[in-house]
Amino acid sequence: MDQSRRKFLKTTSLAAAAIAAPNIWIPMAGDAWGATLKKGEPIKVGLLFSLTGGLAVPEEDSTLVMQYAIDEINKNGGVAGHEIEPVIVDAKSDFNVYSEKTKELILRNKVIAIFGCYTSASRKAILPTVMSQNSLLYYPTCYEGAECSQNDICTGPLANQHSKDLIPFMVKNFGKKVFFVGSNYVWPKESNKNAKVWLNAAGGELVGEEYIPLGSSEFGPILNKIRDAKPDFIFSTVVGASDIAFHKQFKQEGFKVDSMPIASLTTGEIETRAMGNEFGAGHFLSAPYFQALDNPTNHKFVEGFLKSKYGKNGVTHYNMEETYISAYVFKYGLEAAAKKAGGIDGITSKMIRDASGGVRVEDGVSPEGLIWIDDQNFNTWLKPKIGQCQADGSFKIVKQADAQVAPDPYSIYPDVGVCTPTGLKAPDGKIRANVI
């Protein structure tokens, strides 16, 4: 094992251990939030994704599509007449680097906001710094919930918008017995807590549950357990390079997709292209966006992005699209804050965040269709969808919600309380800010 590999596994294990328990309270540093914008100066934002290492498969494309969105916004007049200036960082799939670069972006580069992270492990690694420095994070992908932070805005689905539909769909169409496989950190484990609730409600049966170290690629022992358990389908929360290895070894070990498909929350067009279409074909993904969505805005987005200098990897993907949307959520939130303040001069991260509740990205801008930011918990109202991977690597949508579904961070923890703009409101009326 080479040194970079050892370092990746060491840092991911440490990070996973450090954040294993959700609902940690992080006190605020003070009343002043983050950087302050000045009239006549560019709007600096940080792009904190991994361009190398085991998380680069989805995260490089997040960096590329953010640059595409920023170029698009700037070409159309920027925000309140000011251009957005990205500060691009390679987090190197190393949670220590995520944390270090967060401090650098906020304190040295003076960014007004950070767009970044793909895993909950990296998000939780940087949120304490974002909070202590009173900055703002746009987290543009799915996550598990059980969190109420006043310093981030999330544009991906929560568990109640993700596996809540996928689990009963798979039980109905393939059978009751399911085997859970996930990467070993907080998002898969917390997501599986939600999935178990919905599996029970659907009359399903959990016949096995295994986790593999984040970044690992050896699935032989887990596949042997799956062979013995004989599930009707597999529910996967494996991420990054590990996800590609899992699908390839599934087929190489002789498992048949028609009798035991994998239902995933992460395996989209990017991962399928990286592993080879033959390894993805037949499996399922739950996501709010697929490249094959048939609407004029998505056609324009796909064509424009893939023809641009940023479309080198040849596909669009749910995580990219949620990242793209986050750029417009930022634009509209900042414009709303500037309108209220009478201009951009003196705008802080908190003012943007406070103005973002209820922000809408309409059909004409959002490739997945209308979404909006909840004015209480600052997650996103969206339409959950389920797609099945085809032989050419595209996804056929087999189920879609009739309307946008409200984000519910505490869907399986109703007794914990409700997330509000000022913090988690417990049943006794007490409010705690920044519960992560």
CATH of the domain at 89: 3.40.50.2300
Domain final position from 231, 266, 287: 287
Q: Same domain for 234 and 301?
A: no
Residue 10 within any structural domain of the chain: yes
What's residue 8's pLDDT?
A: 38
pLDDT mean over 332-361: 96
Q: Could you tell me what percent of the chain has a pLDDT over 90?
A: 89
Computed over every residue of the chain, the mean pLDDT equals 92
Query: Residue 1 CB: number of other CB atoms within 10 A?
Result: 7
Q: How many domains does the chain have?
A: 2
Q: Judge if 259 and 306 occupy the same domain.
A: no
- Distance between CA atoms of 436 and 433, rounded to whole angstroms? 9
The answer to whether residue 249 sits within a structural domain is: yes
Is 398 inside a domain boundary?
no
Quote the CA–CA distance of 202 and 171 in Å, as a whole number.
Answer: 7
In a domain, 405, yes or no: no
> What pLDDT, on a 0 to 100 scale, did the predictor assign at position 34?
60
179 secondary structure, DSSP code: E
Report the pLDDT value the prediction gives residue 111, as an integer from 0 to 100: 98
| pTM for the predicted model, two decimal places | 0.91
Last residue of a domain, one of 252, 287, 322: 287
> H or E stretch including 4?
helix 3-18
Q: In 3D, which of 363, 368, 367 has the Cα closest to residue 385?
A: 368
For residue 16, is pLDDT > 60?
Answer: no
Classify strands 177-183 and 152-154 as parallel, antiparallel or unpaired: unpaired
Does a structural domain hold residue 275?
A: yes
DSSP string, 340-362: HHTSSTT-BHHHHHHH-TT-EE-
Q: Is 419 exposed, middle or buried (0-12, 13-18, 19+ CB in 10 A)?
A: buried
pLDDT at residue number 4: 38
Residue 397 in any domain: the answer is no
Tokens found for residue 227: 């062979």
Please give the pLDDT value at position 1. Answer: 40
Other CB atoms within 10 Å distance of the CB of residue 332: 22
pLDDT band at 214 (very low <50, low <70, confident <90, very high): confident
Domain co-membership, 138 together with 252 = no
Q: Are residues 262 and 326 in the same domain?
A: no
12 and 136 co-located in one domain: yes
Q: Both 152 and 102 in a single domain?
A: yes
CA atoms within 13 A of residue 77's CA, in its CB half-sphere: 5
The backbone torsions φ and ψ at residue 206, rounded to the nearest 5 degrees and listed phi first, read: -85, 120
Residue 27: pLDDT over 90: no
Phi, psi of 193 (to 5 degrees): -60, -45
Q: How many helices (H) and strands (E) does the chain have?
A: 13, 18
In terms of residue numbers, what domain contains 255?
A: 160-287
The whole-number pLDDT of residue 30 equals 43
Residue 154 forms beta bridges with which residues?
139
pLDDT confidence bin for 19, thresholds 50/70/90: very low
Residue 129 lies in a domain: yes
Together in a domain, 111 and 23: yes
**Do 143 and 180 belong together in one domain?**
no
Average pLDDT over residues 128-141: 94
Is 36 in contact with 348 (CB distance < 8 Å)?
yes
* Residue written as token pair 């592993």: 275
Residue 408 has pLDDT above 70, yes or no: yes
The pLDDT of 17-21, averaged and rounded, is 37
The answer to whether residue 408 is domain-embedded is no
Q: Considering 287, 311, 345, which residue would you say is the last residue of a domain?
A: 287
Residue 94 above 60 pLDDT?
Answer: yes
User: At residue 7, does pLDDT exceed 80?
Assistant: no
Does 281 have pLDDT greater than 70?
Answer: yes
Predicted confidence (pLDDT) at residue 23 exceeds the cutoff of 70: no
Answer whether residue 6 shows pLDDT above 50. no
Helices 186-201, 120-132: crossing angle, 10 deg rounding: 120
Q: How far apart are CA 253 and CA 137, in angstroms?
A: 41
Residue 36 contacts by C-beta under 8 Å, 6 or more apart in sequence? 346, 347, 348
Residue 2 pLDDT greater than 60, yes or no: no
* pLDDT grade for 262, boundaries at 50, 70 and 90: very high
Condensed to tens digits (0 to 9), the pLDDT of residues 221-255 reads 999 999 999 999 999 999 989 999 999 999 999 99
Which has the higher per-residue pLDDT, 22 or 109? 109
Find out whether 121 and 95 touch, Cβ atoms under 8 Å.
yes
Among 156, 217, 231, residue whose Cα is nearest residue 187: 156
Q: What single-letter amino acid sits at 141?
A: T
Residue 277 shares a structural domain with residue 303: no
- In this structure, the answer to whether residues 227 and 355 fall within a common structural domain is no
- 375: number of Cβ within 10 Å: 12
272 and 315 share one domain: no
Q: Write down how long the chain is.
A: 436
Residue 143 near residue 173 (C-beta atoms within 8 A): no
pLDDT in tens, 30-62: 444 468 999 999 999 999 999 999 899 889 999
Same domain, 20 and 131: yes
CA–CA distance, 163 with 114 (Å, rounded to integer): 28
Residue 22 has pLDDT above 70, yes or no: no
